[in-house]
Structure 1
Amino acid sequence: MTRQKPSVGNRILGVLGEILITLGILLMLYVAWELWWTNIDSANAQKQVTQNLVQNIGDVKIGDDTEEDIDYGPAPVAEVNPGETFGIMYFPRFGSNGSHHPVTYGVGRDVIDNLGIGYYPSTQLPGEKGNFAVAAHRQTHGQVFWDIDKLQKGDKIYLQTKEGYYTYTWYETEIVQPSNGDVLLPVPHEPDAEPKRSILTMTSCHPPFTTRLRIIAYSELTDWRPLEAGPPKEIREMVKDATS
């Protein structure tokens, strides 16, 4: 019995079907790379720059409970140089999977795609009156700020630099348009205002897996401890983990 040859139309449909299947596989591989491998790649890069920073800082004293109530006076302004990783940020609210991440000068893709948290160079420095603003991904590339929407009243964010430990207390979160750059002003949304306090502004995309909006979390500098005094009690185990 002679097999009937497929028509030209059927052959074209077969080729198109194979192309679509191939494209589907490639798309699945890309999604897997974006959602999985970029997190691993970023975590390895963050670990390396954190280790380099710890070596530059030197031995870190952990301290004990008797040192908690000492008033160390006003916080100094941190020294930050272009291109350097200058701090480690700790987030007790984020839990063990996202407890600490390095902070690096700049918010280009070379920083936030690989090194965790980026610092906006146009904003103020830690300890300075005004707005110390940072950015990080909420998903992929380490998803550092995945839980940024979980911050609650009384939550603390800690920044460790060679000067010491800066403690920020969360007070507000808002959702804005990507074009709303006045969240980075010394006093957010108030172009002519003179800053009277030091704040931390964390920015990321919102909702997750989109870039349609921005989520902005604000915290105020409420305490400071020199490096030799050891970290605040709440983050001692995190500091041990980060500096070991």
Structure 2
Amino acid sequence: MRLHVVHHGTRRRRALRRRVLWTGGEVLLSVGVVLLLLVAHQLWWTNRQARQGAEREVQALERQWDGGGGHAGTDQPPAASPVSPATSTPSTPSPASSAEGRSAGGGRSSAGGDGRPRWSRAYAILTVPRLDLRVPVAEGVSKPDVLNKGYVGHYPGTQQPGQAGNFALAGHRNAHGEPFRYINRLRPRDVIEVETRSAVYTYAVDSTLPQTSARDSGVIGRVPRSGVRPGHGYTDPGYFITLTTCTPEYTSRYRLVVWGKLLSMRPR
């Protein structure tokens, strides 16, 4: 009968391999748990926080406009009421200045001394009935100061609600409240409302550009027209609204664009 001899060196090597495999498994498991927590934070917790904050800001705006106080603020004086935007001769109002900063005293008013919106302050409410969406609009498109709060951001240099030209907005499609996640579902003639302290402006969706370059600045021009996708956009002046967000979902490689035209304005 032959005896199987196991050398101590062989046992040590086997034990070492077992320890390496066990340690590697523990590391992989730990990394997996951390990644799951990060995904949960990004996709659930940031949404929850941003949506709650945006809802509170909408309520604060409504309270202040109704004379009930609150910290959210005022908007610039409305443009002259365009009874028929499609046939009216557009005026040339001065766009909101991107140089308008925070109030010197750190106050919460969202309008400067000249009536223009202050940087990162909510001053309007965007309502899209088809998407059951109602979110604050703030000046600027900074991620930490505006978009990550669940707000929709107004592109500095574009026009304000009701003015001739293009009232252009940006919003997250995923995480941080994702207000623009489903704007690809909007169809022609769907209603978009923009409410300020003084008026409610009603736009109707006109067309969608499913995908364009992130550098396609023409889509937010005064007469919005893609410089990358010929044939998408407008050639004549008018009263426009533009919604922009990232596409495909969970990436920021391209931009999805929805355009609308002003239908009416009514005093608030």
TM-score normalised according to structure 2 size: 0.72
Residue 127, structure 1, aligned to residue 168, structure 2 = no
User: Displacement of 1:195 after TM fit?
Assistant: 6.1
- 1:147-158 matches, within 5 Å, as 147-158=182-193
1:80 to 1:195, Cα distance in 2 relative to 1, 3 A:
farther
One-letter code aligned to 1:47? E
- In the TM superposition, what whole-angstrom CA distance separates every residue of 1:70-109 from its partner, at most 9, and x where no partner exists? xx942798954122211111111113xxx21111111111
Residue 179, structure 1, aligned to residue 187, structure 2 = no
1:53 to 1:80, Cα distance in 2 relative to 1, 3 A:
farther
Query: Unpaired segments of 5 or more residues in structure 2?
Result: 1-5, 69-79, 84-90, 97-114, 228-233
- 1:37-48 matches, within 5 Å, as 37-48=45-56
| Partners of 2:152 and 2:169 within 8 A in 1 | yes
Partner of 1:87: 124
Partner of 1:169: 204
Residue 203, structure 1, aligned to residue 203, structure 2 = no
Partner of 2:100: none
- Say which SS state the counterpart of residue 61 (structure 2) adopts: helix
The separation in 1 between residues aligned to 2:195 and 2:256, in whole angstroms, is 24
Residue 28, structure 1, aligned to residue 36, structure 2 = yes
Displacement over 6 Å in runs of 4+ = 75-78
One-letter code aligned to 1:107? V
The separation in 2 between residues aligned to 1:107 and 1:73, in whole angstroms, is 27
The separation in 2 between residues aligned to 1:169 and 1:181, in whole angstroms, is 22
Partner of 2:111: none
Residue 142, structure 1, aligned to residue 177, structure 2 = yes
Residue 11, structure 1, aligned to residue 39, structure 2 = no
- Say which SS state the counterpart of residue 47 (structure 2) adopts: helix
Q: How many percent identity over aligned positions? A: 31
The separation in 1 between residues aligned to 2:136 and 2:30, in whole angstroms, is 39
- In the TM superposition, what whole-angstrom CA distance separates every residue of 1:15-61 from its partner, at most 9, and x where no partner exists? 2221111000000011111111111100121122222212221259x
Q: Give me the CA root mean square deviation.
A: 2.7
Higher RCO structure, 1 or 2 (CA under 8 Å, sep 6+): 1
The separation in 1 between residues aligned to 2:117 and 2:249, in whole angstroms, is 32
**Greater share of helix:** 1
The separation in 2 between residues aligned to 1:155 and 1:165, in whole angstroms, is 16
Partner of 2:3: none
1:190 to 1:85, Cα distance in 2 relative to 1, 3 A:
same
- Say which SS state the counterpart of residue 52 (structure 1) adopts: helix
Aligned length: 211
